[in-house]
Amino acid sequence: MPINILMPALSPTMEKGNLARWLKKEGDKIKSGDVLAEIETDKATMEVEAVDEGILAKILVPEGTADVPVNDVIGLISEEGEDAAAVQTPAAKAPNQAVAAPAAPITQPAPNAAAASAPAASASKPAAAPAPEAHNGHANGRIFASPLARRIAKEAGLDLTAIKGTGPHGRVVERDVQSAIAEGPKPRPSAQPSTPARQAFVPGLSDEAVKAYFEPGTYDEIVHDNMRKTIARRLADAKQTIPHFYLTVDCELDALLKLREDINRAAPLNKDGKPAYKVSVNDMVIKALGLAIVRVPGANVTFTEAAMLHHHHADVAVAVAIPDGLITPVIHAADTLPLSVLSNQMKDLVARAKERRLKPHEYQGGVTAISNLGMYGIKDFCAVINPPQSSIMAIGMNEERAIVKHGAIVIANMMSATISCDHRAMDGAKGAELISAFKKLIENPISMLI
């Protein structure tokens, strides 16, 4: 029996993907771990690895195909001893065939739109009940998972029944467990009756109603890609479900700019004769927020329905603009990294983010985030929290301002910073402690090096 190659869920927010290209062709021998294809998700271009051995018998979805739903069959692998040339393309489902309920990822605000179809009854035995097919890694009480996935899940204390399998026939494989670890703890299922899946966007004017306000021919219509759809859905959900409050401070930057200049001047040269690092103001802002959030008890937290997660280190996400959207690579344990290491990590993440080459663990999670629009001349703004983060710091431009210092009016380099906080995770006083600690580190930057 041929093995289905399914369109995998390569990120928690993925509902559809674009099959960019096949790296194997029909007739090629496949080994476990071979890279079969490249998939463009809403965040990055990812490689799909084989989890079984055999021969790539048929390619069902040609490369270049857009919006392929998660769990759709994109190819077939013939097993050992099976004639690859004789493998038949799966028949299209009849209109009245039963379809399983949509599978919704429980850690994201919006349900997954992909649905898995129930197995068809045998044509030769119409009266016989169809054999249950493994879905989401389990059927009839049995969990289908690879040995490596079982071991990793056991070590991480994860329940395999709560993990959606993307391997053949819904089997849970290593990448599924790693994604579950990156996503963090799952919220409790709601005791309320299930409701229909929400629309991707907030209900409002229909497309036709919006277009009616404008004369035909006066605009160009560009269809949303997966990234824009995901941004629209997640941030609309965030504003509806997370109670935001905002706190702003003005920070004097003169000492920080002087320290940055000294650090960069002291940078050793690498083998190419170039400085080994070049620290930016944004790098120092990341470091300051990472230190501030671990130094304020109760600020380095994530809210769940059942408990508050208190983190040991500060994973700081940083908003990066890419063509037609944005992505938030994460600096893990930013509070522990020297500025030179943090700076080089950030440059590498930004470069690969713009090429859509980040791996899921490099842009998922984080307890807080930074959005810096100072380079666009923005003085201050309020950013939207991106779940599961509990805060986000909005950074404005560096500008010279007249301030009162020691009873005299002087000119200083100033920057406004506004933190958006999840009121479920921290109260106003705790948020004020956090942004005050950030301001102190920015204005006394030498303390970042101690």
Has 332 been annotated as catalytic? Answer: no
Q: In what order do the strands lie in the sheet with 368-372?
A: 244-252, 408-422, 391-405, 368-372, 316-318, 330-331
> Which residue in 283, 280, 367 sits closest to 332, CA to CA?
367
Question: Helix (H, G, I), strand (E, B), or coil: what is residue 318?
Answer: strand
Rounded Cα distance between 347 and 342, Å, is 9
DSSP 8-state symbol, 62: -
- Residue of 244, 311, 361, 423 marked catalytic: 423
User: Is 266 exposed, middle or buried, given 0-12, 13-18 or 19+ CB atoms closer than 10 A?
Assistant: exposed
> Which residue in 105, 156, 166 sits closest to 136, CA to CA?
166
Query: Is residue 440 within a helix (H) or strand (E), and if so which, with residue range?
Result: helix 428-443
Question: Helix (H, G, I), strand (E, B), or coil: what is residue 435?
Answer: helix
Buried-exposed string 13-45: b where 16+ CB fall within 10 A, e elsewhere: bbbbbbbbebebeeeeebeeebebbbbbbbbbb
Positions marked catalytic:
423
